[in-house]
Amino acid sequence: AESRRADDKLIGRLRRKRRYFRTVATTYAREVAHSRDYCTQITDYCQSREVHTKTLVTQMEALRRDKMAPKRRTTRLNPGTTPVTTPSTTTTSVTNAQLQAMIDEGVNAALAARDATRNGDDSHTSGTGARRPVQAAHECSYSEFLKCKPLDFKGTEGVIELTRWFEKIESVFSISNCTSSNQVKFATCTLQDDA
């Protein structure tokens, strides 16, 4: 009877460990998925900034060329010489609003061209074609993380406590803009005792 009780304890402990490791595996899978989404957002943001910068550089070079183009000079003719005809160039002045409109048009065209080369990958849009705003990465400190009051996980209440802890810790990560490299370190600090 006592060996049976010891076997039941061991089986119970093994089942708890199995549930724990299954939960850890699920957590890591979620973390990897979040990291991939975040990486895609950063890549899209960097590509859009690169396209924007290239467009601005091209337009600035064009404006410099136009501004630095040689101006037509008039010279007085000496008596008895024939005038040399040169093709006339027309200059147009551009207002700041027109220049901004041209820049915006160029950037939009470049972004559309980049999006067309993405092979239908809409991970950077909400499916409606509208670009999703990308948040800049913010290095969250441990004190900022603690200000969001994450739950401590003791591991004594079972699955319900674990589920609540996961939801709260993910909410805290989102609120504090915690980077994925810090998420594991900070979450580990909320584990207590045998958890």
118-138 tens-digit pLDDT:
555 545 455 555 555 555 555
Name the residue with tokens 């074609």: 129
Q: Is residue 144 assigned to a domain?
A: yes
Is 182 within the bounds of a domain?
yes
State yes or no: pLDDT of 84 exceeds 70.
no
Please give the average per-residue pLDDT across 138-149, as a whole number.
80
In the chain, the number of structural domains is: 1
Residue 128 belongs to a domain: no
Residue 164 covered by a domain: yes
User: What range defines the domain where residue 178 resides?
Assistant: 135-195
State both tokens at 31.
């973390």
Q: Is residue 177 part of a domain?
A: yes
Q: What is the pTM of this model?
A: 0.30
Residue 170 carries which DSSP code? H
Q: Amino acid identity of 55?
A: T
Query: φ, ψ for residue 147 (rounded to 5)?
Result: -65, -25
Residue 162 lies in a domain: yes
Neighbours of 146 (CB within 10 A): 14
Q: Sign of the C-alpha dihedral, residues 7, 11, 13, 14?
A: positive
Specify if 175 maps to a domain.
yes
Residue 100 within a domain: no
Higher pLDDT, residue 49 or 75: 49
